[in-house]
Structure 1
Amino acid sequence: MKSHHHEMDTGGQLKTKNGQKYVINNAPRGKYISSFCWYFTIFLVTALLLLAIVLIVLLFNQPRLCTSENGHTNGNSSSLVATGSIFTISSNGKGTPEPAVANGNSNRNRCSHDPRLNTNRQPSGSARNDDYIDDDSGGGREGAQDDEQDIITRSFGWNPVHYKLVIEPNFDRSINNGTVVINIQRDLSYSQKLLPIILDINQIEILTSQVLDSDGQDIAYDAYYGRNNLSYHFRIKERDEGENLLNITLLLEFESRLSDTLQGFYKGFFLEEGSTEDKSWFASTQFSPIDARRAFPCFDSPDMKATFEISLVHPAAKQSVLSNTEVIRTSVVRPGFLREDFETTPRMSTYLVAFVISDLQLVQRSEGFTPQINIWSRPEVGRMTSYVQRLTIRILPYLERYFDLKFNMKKIDMVAVPDFGFSAMENWGLITFRESAFLVPEDNNKSSSAKHTERVALVVAHELAHQWFGNLVTPRWWNDLWLKEGFATYMSYECLNFAEKKWRVFETFIQNELQKAFEKDSDKSSHPISFPVDHASDIRRIFDPISYSKGASIIRMMNSFLGGEAFKAGITRYLEKYQYDNAEQEDLWEILTAYGHEYGTLPESLDVKEIMDTWTLQPGYPVITAERVGERTIRITQERYMLPTKDAADETRWYVPITVVTESTKESKEPVEVRWLSFENRTIEMEIEADRDDYVYLNVDRTGYYRVNYDYASWKKLTNNFPNLPPVTRSQLVDDAFNLARAEFIQYDIPLTLIILVSQYPQDIPAWSSLTRGLNYLNDMMSREPVYEAFLAVMRSILRKSFEQLGFEDRPEDDHLQMMHRERIVGLACKFGIDKCSVRAQTLYRRWMTDFRDNQIPPNLKQVIYCTSLRDGGVPEWNFAYKRYKETDSASEKELILSALGCTVKPWLLSKYLNMTLDPSSGILKQDGARAFQSVAKNYVGNDIAFNFLYENIDRISKYFGDGFSTLSKMIDSVTSLMNQKHHKEQFDRFARKAHKHGLGTIEKAIHLAEEQILNNIHWRSRSYYKLEEFLNQLIRDLHMNM
């Protein structure tokens, strides 16, 4: 192979930027030359320059090639090594190359500099910092982001076996220097042809590359970047002797971005303890779903599992250097810099690789517990990690018993990252968390609310469940994301049902997961749980309530109709069979069918695939209408629930597990029989055990993923017997009634009757939970209408009894659900203007203002009291809250204040607050930008202000927050929730056109969903608003209410 280096000789020397020496033999002897020679030389040089420019222009739009320089194998095998922050290649003989710290020269293929990567400029909020300019995009589009719209280029015919990665972040230059050695294996079962090798990259420059065979010999190849520089291709040249190349080693030296958008390998900072200015910088990873390719070249696909040897080069001053496995060796690479080598990982997907370099401290360690649990955080919040440690050592053994599989790592590091995009990430052996989803203050002055503690517990349990569902067994491709996210969500409730039994978490499951899934699954444009995913933007978008909450809900339904024992045995076998491998939903269906038949819970004529494909491969869900057609007969009909109104033309059908209870059978100790409404049938008739006047209700314990409607007479029987029904059924009736009325299946007289009924039972927690969701939608639709005053008067009337009974103060006998219920009732009372609520809230808040060190506001009511006080208060209250936001070290307290700051009704303060979300000096972290915006957008005064801010700053917002965590999509969703008039649709259409002009393709789906939401709201206002207006005014007259 021809060397890049010049021949050495005696004489003068010059040094290149790499320290290599160019040699000048002797000083040149000067001679005079004629003018003609000068002119001819100038002409020749000019012509050559013009020719070079033409060639460059022609080549710019072609794939950039890095071709093996000698065109054939070379016996001088090489490996990539690190020299401080400069990476080169060095010979070490045959065999698998080993990254090492050394100096050396090499034979290598050097690629031209990527013009789209400016590694000399640190990203900033005002500069484009998320993607390269797209050379394939059309003209006239500003700031195009076509990379997320490209079809994912996947590598077939080759499988990675092992990675050796050495990476060093450069905090000052915002880049990472790295080398990676990838052992890959040819997949002859896919193709007998020698296919190209395709690595995934995103904003990575390949500096050098080399390909070796299994003997360590060089292989001739061509290498080039793919479309938009989002992949790097190797085309191996067939050898003359026709050897069958089965095992190949790729060696690459690269440079990637140390971003500030919370994606890939990114950097952030936190203020040092006791300081308001001194920053401590950290580097952390977020590779899920497809951002490992931002850190290093790899096969960034969940089915491309391999083992990893990771080495991190870092400033010696950094105290905490972590990865998936334990450190096995520490060495000095140069003065002030160390290298940590980590044990080889299990076979896993790239999205689970993780590392953290920081000054976070080890604040908790489990002694005598296997695996070892290490908890890392900022030192000043270490005391807030005790709850998570206690919870973890209860949940892990439970999961091992439930799955009958031991956790397979020696340790779990759990890290509270000061700025983190998701709530948490399940990286194998190194779980990373947003601080607010991890820290639980337990001291008297900063203790957490019951809601916050439950949220943290669910997040921790979710990530621990992922160590089996997701890490050990991984979905083959992102279309089956629900196989890990739905199961982790469901199992988090199973975990807390064991670890925090008094919480009764499956009651909150209905509110947190089932009702949330119903809401998102009601639109015409809802997507199936499992559907083809071809674009990067599609992959990011499916991390939504359909994958998480609907996935968990249909798993709960399977557990119900299969029975707990058969279900548990089935998923244990699934994990055992596919451990360290990938699976698809069909693999799970096959196993669950076998166990359902073995345990006798699934009819032999049915299989799980036949049933569940109707739930995972179709969008939406059914309304089951039960109509009494005789004393002992009911007619069951299924049709799709859809907003804004039911669609008779929609023929979607499901296999539906029907469970029925009648007044005559409610005391039976026998399990309720599951009867099947098949996919082929829209309507069937069922015999039931009931008297003529008995009430009948369906979907026992609400385990089925469907709503239930009844004939009018049956509704009346159920409302007349409301107190005698089970709590879950009462909750179901309220939730179904409000939503069936919204979609015009029934009239509003039924849900309005239920409002009056529920108001008579202040302690009916499940019913009030459903009622709150229904009332919030009505409030959103009416908050800018003339009838709003009447609506508030009615709401105050129905709430007063519950508010006075529950009060502001927690009581010793209160359990977990009771404390959350008090927050719900007080929140409604203050929202709807009960005077005592507002006065009490302001009194407590102003008492806190007199001594900020002594916050006596009940933890469970902080959110209500902060918001109410800022809504009804003035500038001093707002400024005090913002100052507390900047000074508190409690992440959960910060989130409460962020939400409250958007409650003010002073327009200029709201505008100021929105602008602060794009100003790093405000102290508002990027992870919290969407939360701050949402608090303004949900404010009826701030909604227009938030929309105008979004419209005017769409490009700036997109650049500042990046595209990894759907921040812009969340903003769009929140700002359109109150829009319900035609001029709102016209405003939003202008916004959509502007977004398209700016090339923001990643938010096209969010825009489409928002348009549908606005149209649904407009439809509701045109069809239901005036009927409610009439009812409210009549009710005020009948009850002699004061407005």
Structure 2
Amino acid sequence: MENWGCVTYRTVCLLVDEKNTALKNKQYVAIVVAHELAHQWFGNLVTMEWWTELWLNEGFASWVEYLAVDKLFPEWKVWQSFVNDAHNPALGLDGLLTSHPIEVPVKHPSEIDEIFDAISYLKGAAVIRMLASHLGLETFRKGLVAYLQKFAYKNATTVDLWQMLEIGGKLPEGSVSSLMANWTAKMGYPVLSVEAKEGGFSLGQQHFVSSGDKGHDTLWQVPVVYELYDGKNRSAKKMLLKGASENMEEKGKYTCALFNQGSQAYYRVKYGPKLRGLLFEGIKAGVISDPVDRLAIQADLMAIVKAGVDESVTSKEYFDLIKAYKNETEFIVWESLLANIQSLSVLAKAAGFQEAFSKYMVELLQPIAEKLGWDSKEGEPATDQMLRAQVIPLIGIHGHPPTVKKALDAFTEFYDKKQYTEEFKGKSALPADFRSGVYRIAVKQNGEKAFEQLLMIYKTTTFQEEKVRILRSIGAGNDDKLIERTLAMSLDFKQVRKQDMMYPIFGTVGSEKGLRATWAFLKKNWSFILKEFKGTHMLVRLASVTSRFAMEEDQKDVEEFFKSNEHPGAERKVKQCLESIGTNARWLKRDRGAIAAAVGAA
């Protein structure tokens, strides 16, 4: 918490251990520390006038955190990670009809907790990044300095910020206020439709809705940066789309055309068939050199597939695109691919394709897993270390026999030799980067034995990160009794700290069986949960697990439950979950056959 003169942190957000902290967690700690310190300027030195402008605090802190960490740890490439950790999650939430504008009127205290979400934090940061890119970082910095100086020890509004940014430099196409008005005052964002035509391109924009429903008629001023590849060279160009559509003249020949280069602007791109095909070939040929662009191509396609807004673009198209990434080696691209495949996994589980889906995942991951190997290499990039930490455990979770064996052997040595204790000083058989995944593999394969071993480590260790890893892992098996024990632990505050109770909950929802057991547990214990957590953000977190459902009957069940059970502060989240379930159900109904065929379940 960013208290002036007394910044406070949870233990897991502040302390790292060189031997026992995973690299991803080190990054997380650096980001959180930078975020809270950024509030000394954005929030404390200059304070929002009212809760409507919460984003002036949280959006800026969420942007500055990356600015600071990139300066301190350039080897982490955190601006690339920003696309996965901030930009795309914001697009995901903001694609819902139950989203809200960055600036949202707050008329009652209960509404305040609801706006502490990805819109105020992550969309806020994403539109700041877009504006900084459009203005130029130096121009943006000058305006920001003027803003901080003029409103030091005072309150400010969004309009105040826009006016100060214009001090840094004027825009040729108009004011900052006119450029940014709809980005903060309107819910959602546009999808930019791009079609190849004789002598150039045709562009169009409309409100993107992830359910495929009709959105509102807002037109944004859209900064468009695009690159053309001619087989040898690449040229970057920019324009500002103000209207609903525009024809662009482009006389040069190109083998590939990419829009929203670097994902600097806050929108999706929907390519026509010709341009989409050229991009697929460009990825195969290795000519799309920026990993952020390779990430964005498949992320935008997945959003289009999920929405079902184009009958010619189904899940089959996405599975076909995945094949173009067979030689991919960048962490952020794989991280996004696997997150999107997780969306398909939700459908596969609901449809009963889990076994076939796991076989598909093993085949997909095996080449990159073999390339990376189990052991780190001297001098390798930090991003390779993070990729290995994601891929190796995941292929084991999906049942790859050699990985399962190595994981279980490593866990046995780690446990038997008490390498989890402070007294152990040697090289661990189980590096911190692998522990979460290996713990899940152990529970999945060895059931109660591994469960009890992990509980022993949990009770023994004083390192909070280790405790959280275990709480997230013990419910990953298929044993009904162990799932029940995990869920019961979440509300046993003698074993689990109240602020940690969501970790075992989140750890059980990875399987269809675990998801249904978790929802039944939450319904049964909602009165107790409400008594303990009313007025906190925990209700929002717990309600969010329902977004993993993909059947109409589950949507009805969730809706009926929350109609008759109080959930103060989580009203908007429940509506968003219901919308997500409905989207999943329609997606499954529409693409069930394509998914079954792609994973070999047909």
Alignment of structure 1 residues 964-979 onto 2, 5 Å: 964=536, 966-974=537-545, 976-979=546-549
1:659 counterpart SS class: strand
Aligned equivalents of 2:330, 2:38: Cα separation in 1: 32
Match of 2:452 among 879, 885, 897: 879
Shift of the alpha carbon at 1:630?
1.2
Alignment of structure 1 residues 254-333 onto 2, 5 Å: none
Q: Partner residue of 1:776? A: 342
Q: Partner residue of 2:192? A: 624
Shift in alpha-carbon separation, 1:577–1:659, aligned structure 2, 3 A: same
Shift of the alpha carbon at 1:1025?
1.8
Alignment of structure 1 residues 238-257 onto 2, 5 Å: none
Contact conserved, 1:985 with 1:1014, CA < 8 A, in 2? yes
Aligned equivalents of 1:552, 1:1032: Cα separation in 2: 37
Q: Partner residue of 2:281? A: 720
- Residue 619 of structure 1 aligns with an amino acid whose one-letter code is M
Q: Partner residue of 1:987? A: 557
Alignment of structure 1 residues 191-590 onto 2, 5 Å: 425-442=1-18, 444=19, 447-590=20-163
Q: Partner residue of 1:103? A: none
- Residue 729 of structure 1 aligns with an amino acid whose one-letter code is D
Aligned equivalents of 1:1018, 1:595: Cα separation in 2: 49
> Which structure has the larger Rg?
1
Structure 2 residue 313 is the aligned partner of structure 1 residue 742: no
Shift of the alpha carbon at 1:664?
3.8
Contact conserved, 2:508 with 2:514, CA < 8 A, in 1? yes
1:650 counterpart SS class: coil
Q: Deviations over 1:541-594 (max 9, x none)?
A: 111111111111111001100001100001011000000011000000111123
- Residue 985 of structure 1 aligns with an amino acid whose one-letter code is Q
Alignment of structure 1 residues 612-1011 onto 2, 5 Å: 612-631=180-199, 633-647=200-214, 650-664=216-230, 667=233, 672-678=236-242, 681-691=243-253, 693-722=254-283, 723-726=286-289, 727-744=291-308, 745=310, 746-761=313-328, 763-853=329-419, 854=424, 855-922=428-495, 924-964=496-536, 966-974=537-545, 976-995=546-565, 999-1011=566-578
Contact conserved, 1:938 with 1:978, CA < 8 A, in 2? no
Shift of the alpha carbon at 1:667?
4.0
Shift of the alpha carbon at 1:1010?
1.7
Aligned equivalents of 1:545, 1:1003: Cα separation in 2: 14
Aligned equivalents of 2:350, 2:98: Cα separation in 1: 28
TM-score by length of 2: 0.94
Aligned equivalents of 2:394, 2:232: Cα separation in 1: 34
Shift of the alpha carbon at 1:673?
4.0
Q: Deviations over 1:503-555 (max 9, x none)?
A: 11101111110111111111111100111011212111111111111111111
The two structures, once aligned, show a CA RMSD in angstroms of: 1.8
Shift in alpha-carbon separation, 1:981–1:668, aligned structure 2, 3 A: closer
Aligned equivalents of 1:441, 1:595: Cα separation in 2: 43
- Larger relative contact order (Cα-Cα within 8 Å, sequence gap ≥ 6): 2
Shift of the alpha carbon at 1:849?
2.2
1:627 counterpart SS class: strand
Q: Deviations over 1:114-145 (max 9, x none)?
A: xxxxxxxxxxxxxxxxxxxxxxxxxxxxxxxx
Aligned equivalents of 1:1000, 1:699: Cα separation in 2: 40
Shift in alpha-carbon separation, 1:929–1:818, aligned structure 2, 3 A: same
Aligned equivalents of 1:615, 1:689: Cα separation in 2: 32
Q: Deviations over 1:894-930 (max 9, x none)?
A: 11111011212211122122222222222x1111112
| Of 879-888 and 473-482, the range deviating more from structure 2 | 879-888
Shift of the alpha carbon at 1:864?
0.8
Shift in alpha-carbon separation, 1:905–1:1033, aligned structure 2, 3 A: closer
- Residue 514 of structure 1 aligns with an amino acid whose one-letter code is H
| Of 783-792 and 860-869, the range deviating more from structure 2 | 783-792
- Number of residue pairs matched by the alignment: 589
Contact conserved, 1:759 with 1:799, CA < 8 A, in 2? no
Contact conserved, 2:114 with 2:570, CA < 8 A, in 1? no
- Residue 509 of structure 2 aligns with an amino acid whose one-letter code is A
Q: Partner residue of 1:378? A: none
Aligned equivalents of 2:277, 2:234: Cα separation in 1: 24
Contact conserved, 1:473 with 1:582, CA < 8 A, in 2? yes
Percent of residue pairs bearing the same amino acid type: 29
Gaps of 5+ in 2: none
Shift in alpha-carbon separation, 1:668–1:952, aligned structure 2, 3 A: closer
Shift in alpha-carbon separation, 1:462–1:912, aligned structure 2, 3 A: same
- Residue 943 of structure 1 aligns with an amino acid whose one-letter code is L
Shift of the alpha carbon at 1:689?
4.8
Aligned equivalents of 2:223, 2:346: Cα separation in 1: 35
| Of 869-878 and 696-705, the range deviating more from structure 2 | 869-878
2:547 counterpart SS class: coil
1:810 counterpart SS class: coil
Shift in alpha-carbon separation, 1:921–1:616, aligned structure 2, 3 A: same
1:989 counterpart SS class: helix
Aligned equivalents of 1:815, 1:537: Cα separation in 2: 46
Shift in alpha-carbon separation, 1:961–1:886, aligned structure 2, 3 A: farther
Shift of the alpha carbon at 1:792?
2.5
Aligned equivalents of 1:427, 1:666: Cα separation in 2: 54
Aligned equivalents of 2:212, 2:221: Cα separation in 1: 23
Aligned equivalents of 1:563, 1:811: Cα separation in 2: 38
Question: Higher strand proportion, which one?
Answer: 1
Aligned equivalents of 1:665, 1:708: Cα separation in 2: 22
Contact conserved, 2:369 with 2:392, CA < 8 A, in 1? yes
Contact conserved, 1:561 with 1:674, CA < 8 A, in 2? no
Aligned equivalents of 1:947, 1:837: Cα separation in 2: 32
- Residue 1013 of structure 1 aligns with an amino acid whose one-letter code is S
- Residue 617 of structure 1 aligns with an amino acid whose one-letter code is A
Shift of the alpha carbon at 1:427?
0.6
- Residue 263 of structure 2 aligns with an amino acid whose one-letter code is R
Aligned equivalents of 2:593, 2:218: Cα separation in 1: 32
- Residue 331 of structure 2 aligns with an amino acid whose one-letter code is I
Aligned equivalents of 2:5, 2:63: Cα separation in 1: 21
- Residue 935 of structure 1 aligns with an amino acid whose one-letter code is G
Contact conserved, 1:627 with 1:634, CA < 8 A, in 2? yes
Shift of the alpha carbon at 1:755?
1.0
Q: Partner residue of 1:363? A: none
- Residue 752 of structure 1 aligns with an amino acid whose one-letter code is F
Shift of the alpha carbon at 1:783?
1.6
TM-score by length of 1: 0.55
2:169 counterpart SS class: helix
| Of 1006-1015 and 577-586, the range deviating more from structure 2 | 1006-1015
Shift in alpha-carbon separation, 1:608–1:491, aligned structure 2, 3 A: same
1:759 counterpart SS class: coil
Aligned equivalents of 1:484, 1:522: Cα separation in 2: 23
- Residue 428 of structure 1 aligns with an amino acid whose one-letter code is W
Shift in alpha-carbon separation, 1:883–1:963, aligned structure 2, 3 A: farther
Shift of the alpha carbon at 1:850?
1.2
- Residue 596 of structure 2 aligns with an amino acid whose one-letter code is E
Shift of the alpha carbon at 1:934?
1.4
Aligned equivalents of 1:778, 1:463: Cα separation in 2: 35
Gaps of 5+ in 1: 1-424, 1037-1043
